[in-house]
Each structure stands twice: as C-alpha cells, then as structure tokens.
Amino acid sequence: MVLIKILPMITINERELIFLNEVNTSAAIMQPEVIFPFGMLKQFYEYWSEPNRSKTKMKFELEKTWDTKRRLKRWYDNQQKWNNGNEKLGTSAARLAALKNF
C-alpha cells in the first residue's frame, strides 16, 4: 500500500497488479494459521480492486485506512461465519435461516 501512495503516476492496471501481489503475499504470510480457499482470495481481490466510475482508483484506494492482511483476515472470518451451511447467504432461504440464528 505504501508503494501505491508514493507513486501515484503509475497506471491503475499496474496498481492492480501490485494489489494482487499484496493479496497473495498477505495470504502466504498468514498461511500457517489460516488456509484461504482460492475462490475466496479471488472474491476478495475482485471486490476490492473494482475501479471507481472515472477508473482512476480502486475501491481499496478510496478507504480512509487500509491494511490488506487485516482486511483479508476479517474477510475470511466473515466467510466462515456466514457460510456455515451449504447454502450461500445470497439465497433468500439462507438469509432467513441466518436471521433466525441471529
């Protein structure tokens, strides 16, 4: 993240590759305690690398504070909490079941 703030002249595509590398590195560092499914890392990356309307910044760059390792850990914890069954929370039945358990 520091590199991205220091070098604002690099293109969004280059910053996207830097962010992808940062996500993979953070996941590798956390590997002994947390094993991330590949699909989850891809979802995390795709969500936070979404560009704004003017295509000048990505979603994570618009955040006031950012720590990839902490965000990734929170994303993992939330996935574990929300996906405790076979159904995903995107379905109405899964949402109702989650609300009942809340």
State pLDDT tens for residues 12-55.
Answer: 999 999 999 999 999 999 887 888 888 999 999 999 999 999 99
Among residues 3, 17, 5, 23, the alpha carbon closest in space to that of 61 is found at 5
Domain that holds residue 45: 2-101
Helices (H), 7-67: 12-30, 38-48
pLDDT > 90: percent of the chain:
54
pLDDT at 99 over 80: no
pLDDT at 81 over 90: no
Per the structure, how many domains does the chain have?
1
Q: Which of 13-17, 42-46, 63-67, 93-97 has the lowest mean pLDDT?
A: 93-97
CB-CB contact of 13 with 59 (8 Å):
no
CB-CB contact of 2 with 35 (8 Å):
no
Grouping H, G, I as helix, E, B as strand and the rest as coil, residue 58 is strand
Q: Which of 8-12, 44-48, 97-101 has the lowest mean pLDDT?
A: 97-101
pTM (2 d.p.): 0.72
The tokens describing 39, both together, are 């699909």
Q: State the pLDDT at residue 54.
A: 94
pLDDT at 85 over 70: no
Grouping H, G, I as helix, E, B as strand and the rest as coil, residue 73 is helix
